[in-house]
């Protein structure tokens, strides 16, 4: 896979990162596998099962937990982005956030629900923080001409991490079928170890060019917040960037909320067993692996904005299908078709999303704008799970889960209307928008 990624990266010599190697590109790709192992294994599958089956929680607790973690990332994102721009390298910060996420995951299952909730929030925060540093490294292993393919390889290989997480959880639950704190403790420990093993090559082998930057100031945190408004205003200098970020807030919210709630939806609204719901999730993963590779090719052929537009339309159709199954009395087996389509659409979303951001943002300020990119995504992630809980939970509005899915459908339509107006033609950056780089590559 590393050789394939290197071959893809070498297709364009113009603007290619210095000393690009298969080991560097392949290691970046493997990190996508590692963090997807955490995302599906902890956030989508086993923590919701643990919360419901052992801690006795429901949609409201699940939604509020995810919203709380997202709110903290929302506040911290500008600081993290500023740190990554003012440091000569981003990889050390990626390593720190990953290790903290691994530790929180390793100890996640606790008899105390309060402690488990706190560890889950810490793990999700560190995972999301790491994505700011990781996504901003994409230009170091790709060029404008092949960024879609490199990102698509990352997405496709990343979903193998989902299969790894499902395999770890299934094996542990088969050996110790009783649902207890200790059983889930071993599930989370296995996922934590898998995350660390596949993330480590990125810390060792991704070659990141050092940036020439002034010494980091202790005022970086307060300056980051004061600079946030300036960064948002600065986005208006770059055509389409502000519109894209606003659209991302809506579609990231809708997609992430469905991912987070899909297993509870299948079990509660469709009457499926835990095993059947997991099967629908696995079908999504299997579909996403080849879809990521295909979507990456599409991005490079037709452009990231047009690709993203097609993907958003497909999401609208998926939400309509998912909501209609229980409302119209359709066969519950249609959730497997929905799962297949979700996998394809999810791969397309992430395969086109990162390359579009990298094309619209000025290279000198990748950290700040990827921080803003994460920030708007987290704002949506605060609203989506919170509103799901408010709409679906019997203790609040009690309208049911299908009504919550319709809410997400509306947000995806808004996202499409915003993104369709973005101009994603290649930019010619001036000296003020380009970073000053050292000749030697940091190992």
Q: Is 194:37 a contact under the CB 8 Å cutoff?
A: yes
H/E segment holding residue 209: strand 208-211
In angstroms, the CA 186 to CA 176 distance is 10
- Nearest-CA neighbor of 27 among 193, 196, 161, 206? 206
Return the pLDDT at 2. Answer: 45
Q: What is the DSSP letter of 196?
A: H
Most confident residue range from 180-194, 216-230, 264-278: 180-194
Tokens standing for 66?
A: 């995810």
Q: Is 100:126 a contact under the CB 8 Å cutoff?
A: yes
Tell which wins on pLDDT, 67 or 312. 312
In angstroms, the CA 235 to CA 360 distance is 9
Strand 208-211 vs strand 437-442: parallel, antiparallel, or unpaired? antiparallel
pTM value surpassing 0.75? no
pLDDT in tens, 233-292: 666 677 788 889 889 989 988 887 887 777 777 777 877 777 777 777 778 888 888 888
In angstroms, the CA 403 to CA 382 distance is 18
Q: What is the DSSP letter of 422?
A: -
Return the pLDDT at 213. Answer: 56
pLDDT in tens, 120-157: 989 988 998 888 888 878 778 877 667 777 878 888 88
- Nearest-CA neighbor of 351 among 138, 195, 205? 138
CATH architecture, domain 2-9+20-207+235-425: Up-down Bundle (1.20)
Residues with Cβ within 8 Å of residue 42, at least 6 apart in sequence: 105, 108, 120, 123, 165, 188, 191
Average pLDDT for residues 3-19, to the nearest whole number?
43
Distance linking the first and last C-alpha atoms of the chain: 21
pLDDT in tens, 424-438: 777 777 676 666 554
């Amino acid at each position: 896979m590393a050789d394939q990624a290197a071959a893809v990266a070498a297709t364009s010599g113009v603007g290619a990162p210095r000393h690009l190697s298969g080991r560097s590109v392949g290691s970046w790709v493997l990190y996508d596998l590692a963090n997807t192992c955490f995302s599906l294994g902890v956030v989508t599958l086993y923590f919701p099962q643990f919360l419901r089956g052992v801690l006795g929680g429901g949609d409201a607790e699940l939604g509020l937990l995810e919203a709380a973690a997202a709110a903290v990332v929302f506040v911290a994102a500008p600081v993290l982005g500023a740190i990554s721009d003012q440091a000569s390298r981003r990889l050390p910060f990626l390593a720190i956030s990953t290790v903290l996420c691994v530790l929180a995951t390793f100890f996640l299952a606790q008899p105390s629900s309060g402690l488990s909730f706190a560890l889950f929030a810490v793990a999700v925060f560190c995972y999301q923080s790491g994505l700011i540093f990781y996504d901003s490294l994409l230009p170091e292993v790709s060029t404008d001409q092949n960024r879609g393919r490199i990102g698509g390889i990352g997405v496709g290989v990343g979903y193998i991490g989902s299969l790894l997480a499902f395999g770890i959880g299934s094996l542990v639950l088969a050996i110790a079928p009783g649902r207890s704190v200790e059983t889930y403790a071993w599930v989370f420990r296995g996922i934590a170890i898998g995350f660390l093993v596949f993330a480590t090559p990125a810390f060792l082998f991704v070659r990141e060019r050092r940036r020439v930057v002034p010494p980091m100031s202790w005022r970086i945190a307060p300056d980051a917040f004061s600079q946030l408004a300036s960064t948002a205003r600065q986005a208006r200098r770059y055509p389409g960037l502000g519109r894209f970020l606003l659209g991302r807030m809506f579609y990231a919210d809708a997609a992430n909320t469905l991912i987070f709630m899909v297993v509870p939806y299948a079990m509660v609204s469709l009457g499926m067993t835990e095993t059947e719901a997991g099967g629908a999730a696995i079908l999504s993963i299997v579909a996403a692996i080849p879809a990521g590779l295909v979507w990456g090719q599409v991005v490079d052929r037709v452009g990231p904005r047009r690709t993203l537009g097609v993907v958003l339309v497909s999401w609208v159709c998926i939400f309509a299908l998912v909501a209609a199954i229980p409302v119209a009395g359709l066969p519950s087996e249609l959730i497997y078709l929905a799962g297949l389509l979700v996998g394809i659409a999810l791969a397309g979303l992430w395969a086109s999303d990162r390359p579009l951001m990298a094309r619209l943002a000025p290279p000198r300020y990748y950290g700040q704008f990827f921080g803003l990119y994460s920030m708007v995504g987290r704002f949506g992630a605060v609203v989506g799970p919170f509103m799901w809980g408010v709409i679906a939970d019997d203790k609040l509005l009690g309208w049911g889960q299908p009504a919550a899915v319709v809410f997400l459908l509306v947000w995806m339509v808004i996202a499409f209307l915003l993104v369709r107006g973005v101009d994603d033609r290649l930019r010619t950056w001036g000296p003020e928008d380009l970073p000053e780089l050292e000749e030697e590559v940091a190992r």
